[in-house]
Structures are given as structure tokens and as C-alpha cells.
Structure 1
């Protein structure tokens, strides 16, 4: 399958029952400004572009949301437990982005999409969710060009300082994505 647009990505996910079940499960939490993001989407795109017949295993399924009213990691763990009752074999990870700026030493994020824009790689700065009518929505604050062209580059945010750039470089090295997806090109400024 050719992947050339956001519509192509949405169609790819809509045709994957496993992914749609996960997205529907996350929606049941009724979280404000929620998204499933990062590797969940990137891996699907890269697996498809590499013509893999089997899905690459995910270390976690990142569900993010944005809620200033309850900034407590314990609450996030309770949400993970709720999701595990729906789909127990999924490695859920739920994070309130309204508190993550503190952990990352950054000014407060304004929304979940703002947080996604500050992920380390453009190819990972992606999110999916369902609207109230169960239409699949994709956010890609850094665009989709890099992920569909199999390019790993730092987001503009991670290019903004040497400290962040060193985190990007270390992360890319540790992830060792090229051992799984041999066609990807990694840019290390």
C-alpha cells in the first residue's frame, strides 16, 4: 500500500481491527484532549512500508490526555488499570501531559498536541483519536513527510538546544530502529 497522505494513514488504521479496538478502548475513558500516540502509529506505517506480514511488537501503547484539574500519577495508573480490564494483553501507558513539562524541564504545555509537537522525533510526533461520531482523527504537528519517507529527524523543539539534541541522539541509538526497519534513514545533526 502506498502511504502519501493523512487520509492514507487514517485508512490504514481503520482497516486494522486490532488498532481500532485499542482506540475504542481508550475512548471509553472519556479523557479530555486524549490521543493514542507515538510508536502505535509510527510502527504501523513503517511495518506497512516494509511490507511486513506481522506487526512489530510494541513495548507500550501511549494514551495521553491533558487535564489540569487532576495532576496525579496515581490517577494515571488507575486509568491504566481500567484499560487493562477492557484489553488485558495490551501494555497500556497513560500520561497526563498537563504535568509532563515538569518532568521534562520545560515550560507548561498548552495541550496534548503541543506536547506531541515536543516529542523527540518527527516520525513519532503523531496522535490518533476518535471524535464524538467515532471518526478517526490524526494529528501530526510536525507533518507526516518524515514518517512516510522513512526518515528519523529531531523535532524543531529537540533542535532548539544541544542538551535536547543529545537526548535525541541517545534515544535514537538506544531504540536501534534500523535493526527492525532496515529502510529508515536516521538524521543525526
Structure 2
């Protein structure tokens, strides 16, 4: 199966492949250049736009197929909505319009998370911590473009799951529903994926996740 050709290639080879895949995407590179120009504190482009594009590149699908938005994290101790809104407006004006930009100050996520999702969220101390808490370890990846033109990659659980086309749950928070919903959408778009069940649900979560809702 050629889409799994980098499975088990090792961390260094997978990091090099991720950077090569990103550089080959004009729309992703435009987003990274816009983010670098904004120069927000502790910024990262994270999650779907990165691992989805890996799957697209390895399966021959179009650029940014299946990517709903580009998630831009930053960390500003000013947790007022007014300050975040100014950043959102400035970023939206600078970024390419498609896919849409989702920019959030990770310093204030805990202020609205419980009301929105029905459970509390830690008060993060930087923009890497929320990456650690994504519902799926496969999704836990962030990148930033440096002034030198090099990339910095943050992947607390490595890149192995991405290149293995495997969705592995991350039970650091009670995110079972999120894991299963995201898995269902992903399998509908990339049927090559394998879905690991939420801990304690082995034998049934794979089937439920693979059924689009």
C-alpha cells in the first residue's frame, strides 16, 4: 500500500516528509507566511491542515482536500475578548480566504470552553499545552515558519500515527465524543484510515467511528 510507504520510517524521516509536503502546498505556505508576518506571541498552525495534507499527498488527493479551516494558535496574557477580536480581524484580513482561518488566543480558552463543550478545560500556560490535549494523538501536531525559512515542529506524541493513517485516542481529557465524531468524518473522507477505539470501548468504537453522521 503506497500510502503507507513512510509508516515506520522513523521520526527524522517523517519530520522531513512533513516539511516537504507543507512546502509543496502553495496555500499552506501562504498561510504560514501570513502567520509569520503577523508575529503573534507563541504562534502555531496546528492540527487538521497539517495531517490532512499529509494524507492528501500520500494518497494523491487534491491540495487541502477535506481541510475545513486553518487553525492558528497564539498565547497572549491579555485575555480580554477585545484583544482577541483585534487579532482575529487583523489575521483574517491578511490570510488567504479559503479554507477559512480559525484563530484563538489559548490563554483565554478556559474562560469559554466549559460553556461551549460542557466540561472544564485547564488554564493553559502556553500554546503547546492545548496541542497536548487534543482528543486524538494523531492530531497533536503544530508547525511554525521561522524567519530563516526553516520550520519548527511540535509533535508531543510523534508523527508515527499520521504516517500510519491511524487515529489514536488521547485520553488526557474526557474527549471520547470528540474523538469519535472526528474519526467518523475523517474515515468518510480518507477511507484508508484505521481508528483506534477510546480506552475501555475496544470492539465497538471502531465501527461507530467509521459510520459518517
When normalised by structure 2's length, the TM-score is: 0.77
Which residue does 1:126 correspond to in 2?
Answer: 141
Instruction: From the superposition, tell whether residues 21 and 166 of structure 1 become closer, same or farther in structure 2 (CA, over 3 Å).
Output: closer
1:77, 1:58 → 2: CA distance?
Answer: 24
3-state SS of 2:104 partner: strand
Which residue does 1:85 correspond to in 2?
Answer: 93
Task: Please identify which structure carries the higher helix content.
Answer: 2
Deviations 1:16-35 (A, max 9, x none): 22211110101122111100
1:8 to 2:17 alignment? yes
Which residue does 1:172 correspond to in 2?
Answer: 183
Consecutive unaligned residues in structure 1, runs of 5 or more: none
**Aligned positions, number:** 182
1:73 to 2:58 alignment? no
3-state SS of 1:94 partner: strand
Which residue does 1:60 correspond to in 2?
Answer: 69
Give 1 or 2 for the bigger CA radius of gyration.
2
1:57, 1:121 → 2: CA distance?
Answer: 17
1:30, 1:59 → 2: CA distance?
Answer: 24
Which residue does 1:147 correspond to in 2?
Answer: 162
Which residue does 1:185 correspond to in 2?
Answer: 194
1:148, 1:34 → 2: CA distance?
Answer: 24
Which residue does 2:41 correspond to in 1?
Answer: 32
1:143, 1:121 → 2: CA distance?
Answer: 12
When normalised by structure 1's length, the TM-score is: 0.86
